[in-house]
Every structure is written in C-alpha cells, then in structure tokens.
Amino acid sequence: MVDQYSINSAYFNKIRNIFHQGLLYPWPCRIVRIALAALFIYGGVIKLLAPKAFAATISAYDLAPEVLLPLLAVGLPLIETIAGLALLLDRPWGLHLITVQLALFVFVLGYGIFGDLDVDCGCFGADELDKRAALRAAFYRDMILIGVVAPYLYLSRRVRELVESREEKRLQIS
C-alpha cells in the first residue's frame, strides 16, 4: 500500500533533484549571468550615448540636486556598464554591484509609482509613450531580477564552491 507521504516524498525528491541540477550545472547559471550582464551593459551604454536625456529623466524624479545631475547622468550608466562587464567576466563583485544597483532602481521606481509621477523609467534611454505603465513594468521586472535572478546567481555560485571544496577534500584524502 502506498501512502500519501511516500508519494509526496517521491514528488519532492524529483523537484529537489531538478533544483540541485539547476544549481550544480554551470550552463543554466552562465546563461542567466550572461543575459543579466547583457541587460546591464546595454542599458548603461544606451544612457552613456545620451547623457543629457538621462539627466532630464533623473531630474524628473526630483531626487537629486540639479548640481549633481551631470555627474549622475554619466556616473550611474558607467557603473552599470562596468558592473555588467564584471558579471560577464564572472567577477563576484560585479554581481554585488548589480544587486546594489537593482535595489536602488527598485527604490527609485517605487518612489515614482507611489508618488504617481508621470516619468519615464530611464532604464534604456528611450522615452515610453505610456510612462506610468512603463514605470510599473520596470518596477516588476527589477523586483523579479532582485528577488529571483540575483539570489539564483548567488546560490549557484555558493553551491558550486561547496561542491568544488568537497571534491578537493576528497582528492586530498585519496
């Protein structure tokens, strides 16, 4: 007789195995890492090509003094591009920098949404026709990136490091 707990246990073991494979195998992590890096590199370069337009977008949020706008309009996209390149090259500090930037983006976008601002999100430089809808879409996208993608990348790196250290210990014992 098969009881409910053995069926649930078999089901959860399959899910756990799929989850572990997604963390252990390097290709899913590489694909996610490269996609996130490309997103940040693209966003940073687009804004670097039109710093005046990005400064106008920053100004619309009214979060920074006018004196700092030129510095922010060049500095933020430059940091975004450097973080994307670092993540592309699999540098741990690149993921840290992207995570901090995502937290900043979520804060600013949330401020824009809750303040009912009619502004462009400023994510990829081009003005959106329906600015409020674009602001919400960018907010949800960034929430997914900071809530799912970044933890996945951190966790997969940690799991791979643990597996590598266990392999090294096993080889030292042999």
State pLDDT tens for residues 70-83. Answer: 999 999 999 999 99
- Residue numbers of the domain that contains 168: 29-173
Residue 18 lies in a domain: no
Residue 107 lies in a domain: yes
CA pseudo-torsion sign 97, 99, 101, 103: negative
Q: How many domains does the chain have?
A: 1
pLDDT at 51: 92
Which of 145, 154, 170, 132 has its CA nearest to residue 43? 145
Residue 9 lies in a domain: no
Residue 23 lies in a domain: no
Instruction: Using pLDDT thresholds of 50, 70 and 90, give the confidence band for residue 126.
Output: low
Residue 12 lies in a domain: no
pLDDT per position as a tens digit, 43-78: 999 999 999 989 988 998 888 999 999 999 999 999
C-alpha angle 24-25-26 in degrees, rounded to nearest 5: 110
Structure tokens at 63: 């979060």
pLDDT per position as a tens digit, 139-164: 999 998 888 888 888 888 887 777 77
pLDDT at 123: 79
Instruction: Using pLDDT thresholds of 50, 70 and 90, give the confidence band for residue 172.
Output: confident
The whole-chain average pLDDT of the chain stands at 83
DSSP letters spanning 77-97? HHHHHHHHHHHHTT-HHHHHH
pTM check: above 0.95 = no
